[in-house]
Amino acid sequence: MQRLHSRDAGFAQAFAAVVSDRRESDADVARDVSAILADVRARGDAALADYTAKFDGHALGDDWRIPAETCREAFDALDPTLRAALELAAERIRAYHEAQLPEDRDYIDAAGVRLGAKWRAVDGAGLYVPGGRAAYPSSLLMNAIPAKVAGVGRLVVTTPTPKGAINPLVLAAAHLAGVDEVWRVGGAQAIAALAYGTGRIAPVDVITGPGNAWVAEAKRQLYGVVGIDMVAGPSEILVIADGQNDPQWIAADLLSQAEHDPAAQAILITDDGAFADAVAAAVEAEIALLPTAAVARASWDAHGVIIVVDTLDEAPALANALAAEHVEIATDDPEALFAGIRHAGSVFLGRHTPEAIGDYVAGPNHVLPTGRRARFASGLSVLDFMKRTSFLSVSEASLGAVGPAAVALAEAEGLAAHARSIELRLGI
């Protein structure tokens, strides 16, 4: 863990190093992924079978696709308390995303031209669901429900099944979310299958969902062949907290992201040096209690940062430079600091709003931009599964009103056929 103070002479340089710490895939990953994509495109199902045997230790036979009935049985077999929790999460996620649905436009302007746009869902979407360290039914809900709300017709899940095993909670979530297909393939090869299609798996239009460095790199390389939600890197959390917080609470919040991945990053900004010490000590105590201690320890030791500032008024500028995936503001008046934060994937306001509540049942999507991409990107929404088609209708009278200007512009650009297609209708 690194500790910085904004008054230190070398703070600007040290903070710049924190900001530029990408913690993402290298050239070797990009090279390997490129080869896998090309192989799947060329050999289809045969390549998928080979990679599944190699990486998952599972020989695909007659079990490529997991039947809908198996997903329903997994849902029915859930402990009632857990089933109720999953249903509550789904209900709240659905309600939040239904409010995101955009409205079509259709109007006539002052020149008499009819203008508008129609929103339509993509035909098919592919959702990647990790199956190793990160087998999360919550992520399946966060990806599948916005797609269903958007009106996607075909919803496909690919998920690795190491040694043939799959988390029954993931299957239960697939049933609850209304997933149409579940396939036992993972890794970059699954992303290739969704993008290009194979003998068994038909291609989709959009691919979303978290994954390891190979999955993220595959999505990056295939953008343009299909739409993608984002290129996601390791998890991040920035906590802005004053000294009135319980250090144990803040320590747990930091570790809630550190336990995801050794490359995850947890950062605390506080205006209280004694509180910073207390949080650092609480992190050590909390790590010892975690079954994910090894991962959390690696993350905290390599990428954890505590920044002490003279006043929390400094925090928004630092937060905007970091553009973190998650930002918690644990103060009496979080709105005052929130007003200055322009770049963040999602913001959690107040002492009783831990980031973890947003991962499950709050409603907003937990698929968020990482690696400073919150400067230009947003979290997953229904819009990631939709596209907008504009339309226009010009009458003879309205063409007379606006057509001459279009002719002038076409001629200025040297595009005679453009000009002529309008002039002929204008009779000039």
Is residue 388 in a domain?
A: no
In what side-by-side order are the strands of the sheet with 181-183?
181-183, 154-158, 124-128, 206-208, 227-228
Is residue 386 in a domain?
A: no
Query: Is 175 annotated as contributing to ligand binding?
Result: no
Q: By residue range, what is the domain housing residue 206?
A: 27-99+119-228
> 398 and 413 in one domain?
yes
pLDDT band at residue 134, thresholds of 50, 70 and 90? low
Query: Is 265 annotated as contributing to ligand binding?
Result: no
Q: Is the pLDDT of residue 133 over 80?
A: no
Is residue 399 in a domain?
A: yes
Give the CA dihedral 75, 77, 80, 84, nearest 10 degrees: -10
Query: Is 136 annotated as contributing to ligand binding?
Result: no
Among residues 325, 328, 343, 355, which one is catalytic?
Answer: 325
Query: Is 98 annotated as contributing to ligand binding?
Result: no
Is residue 37 in a domain?
A: yes
pLDDT tens-place string over residues 278-315: 999 999 999 999 999 999 999 999 999 999 999 999 99
Q: Which residue has the higher pLDDT, 82 or 24?
A: 82
> 265 and 145 in one domain?
no
Is residue 108 in a domain?
A: no
Is residue 111 in a domain?
A: no
pLDDT tens-place string over residues 226-259: 999 988 889 999 999 999 999 999 999 999 999 9
> 139 and 155 in one domain?
yes
In the chain, the number of structural domains is 3
> 207 and 75 in one domain?
yes
Q: With residue 402 as reference, give the H or E element that holds it.
A: helix 396-412
Is residue 299 in a domain?
A: yes
> 222 and 245 in one domain?
no
pLDDT tens-place string over residues 75-125: 999 999 999 999 999 999 999 999 999 999 999 999 999 999 999 999 999
> 86 and 223 in one domain?
yes
Give 3-state DSSP helix, strand, coil % of the chain, rounded to 5: 50, 15, 35
Query: Is 212 annotated as contributing to ligand binding?
Result: yes
Q: Taking all residues of the chain, what is their mean pLDDT, rounded to a whole number?
A: 95
Is residue 216 in a domain?
A: yes
Among residues 303, 326, 343, 366, which one is catalytic?
Answer: 326
Query: Is 257 annotated as contributing to ligand binding?
Result: yes
pLDDT band at residue 367, thresholds of 50, 70 and 90? very high
pLDDT value of residue 307:
98
Give which of 151, 179, 144 is closest to 68, Cα–Cα.
Answer: 179
> 194 and 59 in one domain?
yes
Instruction: Tell me the C-alpha distance between 113 and 95, whole Å.
Output: 36
> 46 and 176 in one domain?
yes
Mean pLDDT value of segment 41-47: 97
Quick one: what percent of the chain has pLDDT higher than 90? 91
Q: Is the pLDDT of residue 319 over 70?
A: yes
From 228, 258, 289, give the residue that closes a domain: 228
> 44 and 6 in one domain?
no
Please indicate whether residue 69 is annotated as part of the active site.
no
pLDDT tens-place string over residues 50-76: 999 999 998 999 899 999 999 999 999
From 228, 244, 264, give the residue that closes a domain: 228
Instruction: Tell me the C-alpha distance between 230 and 374, whole Å.
Output: 11
Please indicate whether residue 326 is annotated as part of the active site.
yes
Q: Judge contact between 297 and 304, C-beta under 8 A.
A: no
> 401 and 357 in one domain?
no
Alpha-carbon torsion (326, 307, 255, 277), positive or negative: negative
Around 103, how many Cα atoms within 13 Å sit in the side-chain half-sphere?
Answer: 4
From 339, 362, 385, give the residue that closes a domain: 362
Q: Which two tokens stand for residue 175?
A: 């049933």
Q: Which two tokens stand for residue 54?
A: 């190699």
